Structure 1
Amino acid sequence: MVDLSNFDPNSVGNPENGLFGLPFNSVEDAGLVILPVPWEVTVSYGSGAARAIDPILKASLQIDLFDPDYGNTWKKGFYMMDLDKKILTKSDYLRKEAELFVDYICHGDEVGKNNFMCKSIRDINEGGAYLNNWVYEHTKSLLDKGKLVGLLGGDHSTPYGFIKALAEQHDSFGVLQIDAHCDLRTAYEGFTYSHASIMYNVLEDIAQVNKLVQIGIRDFCEQEWDYIQANQGRIQTFFDRQIKERMYEGESWQSVVDEIVAALPQKVYISFDIDGLDPKLCPNTGTPVQGGFEACQISYLIKKIVASGRQLIGFDLVEVGSNNEVADANVGARMLWHLCNWLTISNKN
């Protein structure tokens, strides 16, 4: 039990402390633990997500701990584990291989005729499987200890192992995906565990995920559209254009949120790709797309999910850019703060 008697929540954030400047310095101290995953092997446009974790940690010191909605929720303990540099090194190495591979296939060349490319795609897919198992083992260990868990990426491929671990604890649950993209492609660019395939892989492999509710989607291919149409009982997509048109014609964000919440089952996992926000808030995310949400819209949505009596069982926050540490990391840190608090409040009993 951490002694908080000498901790002043109104004081400047102490860099000697942990996430948000809080004095929780171990897994044992905290009720909620963040697993950082510095991985971005298959990003298909801009890079930098694997190196966003430290800037987010630094930016988190600027957050005031008081919020009328949260009270002293932080006293339950928020802690982020140390970044595993071996994972980052492996990501860097395989990322170079992936860049060469994509450049090769973009010219229409056949992979089977090039032994080096055959080895590269095998190495990359094996690396993705390794990462999935690494995340699974770490998150399962935390869940088995009774911890609430969040994952901080890295690209959007990173939470697969976490969702798999949650599926061993919950018979059924839904995923709320906040994103500019559907991420329903099949092995995009030949990569089985592509960031663009995360939700396809989850739905195909993890039967306990009985509902996927996507919001903010505004960039997708025909294959993904067809997959959504073929799985309408399991997937419900609130496309960004449709949301905007409804609001232009007089509907409120509250009415849209009510519909989103109603589509969710009792247990909800939040998968938050930062590019679901307006790119003015996350200009260095890997694949920015005009449109999207204001940060306060997402905070309001999560608040309403919890108010509905639904239980949040975990979350990921991914694709935060690192090329402008102040702009992107600040928004990432504040969205992480909201997610930590609402996950804790949702499980206070």
Structure 2
Amino acid sequence: MQDLTNFDPNSVGLKSNNIFGLPFTEEQAQLVLLPVPWEVTVSYRVGTAQGPDHIFEAAMQVDLFDPDVKDGWKKGFYMMPVDKNIRKKSDYLRQCAELILSHMVEGGDVADNEQLSHKLTEINNNGEILRDWVYEMTSNLLKRGKKVGLIGGDHSTPLGFIKALGDVHSDFGILQIDAHADLRIAYEGFTYSHASIMYNTLKEVPQVKKLVQVGIRDYCNEELEMIEQSNGRIRTFFDKDIKEQQYEGATWKQICTQIIDSLPQKVYISFDIDGLDPKLCPNTGTPVPGGFETEQIFYLFKMLHQSGKEIIGFDLNEVSNGFTHGDGIDAIVGARVLFKLCNYMVG
């Protein structure tokens, strides 16, 4: 147990400590965060590979008092160092992906271009390598008795972590906060696309018995058919339907109850920051009008916690300062979302 006698939680956050300025080592922390600086297949804007670094910086400004989970931080949160080799590989493969996407936008067929076909194969192979790396890293942490959270990167990053949880839990559900359904099959030719994470999860992790999606407002016919033909494995609370229920008198508490009742006892939270109103994440890769205030999602988490269901892991992804080079509220919001997730994970 870490001796906190000389630590002042009301003082400025020290970068010489760790995430949120907390003085815990990896061994001392109950919850360990794995950063994954990867954004190879993003469809629109880049920047999310820098998400873990930006969140770490902004986390120093987060006050440690949480009225919903008092003193949760005392159980210890620790963020592992960002792997620079992963980041370098992502940067290189992103350049390859941009060549492929430019060719497609201009009406070209990648299959007819030997060089681009080779690059596509390289991207898909490395997507599998990243999945396996995340699996090994998180498996080792789980075997050591750690609670684990993952910080992306784009939304493709947590697949290996979810697979690792499948080794520990035979039956669990996913609560997905997102603007997008992410059920596309190898979107744009990329097997491990950020837009394919939930399709890949349902395909590769049979232990995921239920996927409950909240805030979805940008999806295609193929994804809608998959939802409708899932025999209840996928339950989607579309943003439009949520808003219309509220316009007609339903309270957010009533809707949260519907969401929570749809989940099994064990729950993994997958939080794509673009599930929020884009004013809170203006630089995220693919912002979509609509979405939630942070307080709404925090209330959903509070009700989930009070329901007695167990949060077994989480990811936070697509946090980016993007084109504005650090000018925006994205990382500030991301750091506070992360703190809330950490507290409920150990609470």
Structure 1 contact 121–191 (Cα < 8 Å) conserved: yes
Q: Which residue of 2 aligns with 1:189?
A: 188
Matches of 2:296 and 2:115, distance apart in 1: 47
**Partner in structure 1 of residue 220 of structure 2:** 221
The Cα of 1:232 is off from its aligned counterpart by: 3.7
Residue 112 of structure 1, CA deviation: 2.5
Map of 2:85 onto structure 1:
86
TM-score normalised to structure 1 length: 0.97
> For residue 11 of structure 1, what is the amino acid of its counterpart?
S
Q: Following superposition of structure 1 onto structure 2, how do residues 91-240 of structure 1 map, counting pairs within 5 Å? A: 91-240=90-239
Q: Is the 8 A contact 1:55 1:325 kept in 2?
A: no
Asked if 1:263 corresponds to 2:262, the answer is yes
SS at match of 1:116: helix
Return the alpha-carbon distance in structure 2 between the equivalents of residues 101 and 65 of structure 1.
Answer: 45
SS in 2 for 1:280: helix
Q: What is the deviation of 1:309?
A: 0.5
Determine the C-alpha separation between the residues in 2 that align with 1:67 and 1:175. 25
> How far did 1:110 drift?
2.4
Q: Give the match for residue 242 of structure 1.
A: 241
1:280-322 Cα deviation digits (max 9, x unpaired):
0000000000000000000010111110010000000000012
Cross-structure match for 2:13 = 13
Match of 1:331 among 330, 333, 337: 333
How many Å separate the matches in 1 of 2:239 and 2:175? 15
Return 5+ residue gaps in structure 1 as ranges: none
1:341 to 325, 340, 343: 343
* Rounded Cα–Cα distance in structure 2 between residues aligned with 1:332 and 1:111: 36
Deviation, structure 1 residue 326: 4.8
SS at match of 2:321: coil
Distance 2:112 2:214 in 1: 41
Percent sequence identity over aligned pairs: 60
Q: Deviations over 1:3-44 (max 9, x none)?
A: 2110011111112111001001x2101000000000000000
CA drift at 1:155:
0.1
CA distance in 2, matches of 1:40, 1:136: 18
Q: Is the 8 A contact 2:282 2:328 kept in 1?
A: no
SS in 1 for 2:5: coil
Q: Secondary structure at the match of 1:52?
A: helix
- Does the Cα contact within 8 Å between 1:59 and 1:326 map onto a contact in 2? no
Distance apart, 1:103 and its partner CA: 1.2
Secondary structure of 1:314 counterpart? strand
2:320 aligned partner, one-letter code: G
CA distance in 1, matches of 2:216, 2:334: 19
Partner of 1:3: 3
The SS at the match of 2:314 is strand
Structure 1 Cα separation of the partners of residues 69 and 173 of structure 2: 24
Conserved 8 A contact 2:49-2:152: yes
CA contact (8 A) 2:32 2:80 kept: yes
2:175/2:268 contact within 8 Å kept: yes
Mapped to 2, the partners of 1:339 and 1:325 lie a distance apart of: 24
Distance 1:184 1:52 in 2: 23
CA RMSD of aligned residues (A): 0.9
**Aligned residue type for 1:176:** L
| Greater than 4 Å deviation, 4+ residue runs | none
In structure 2, stretches of 5+ residues that fail to align are none
8 Å CA contact 1:41–1:91 kept in 2: the answer is yes
Deviation at 1:333, TM superposition (A): 0.1
Give the deviation of 1:325 after TM superposition: 5.1
How many residue pairs match? The answer is 344
Check whether the contact 1:175–1:209 (CA below 8 A) recurs between aligned residues. yes
Cα offset, 1:108, TM superposition? 2.7
- Matched residues in 2 for 1:107 and 1:229: separation? 33
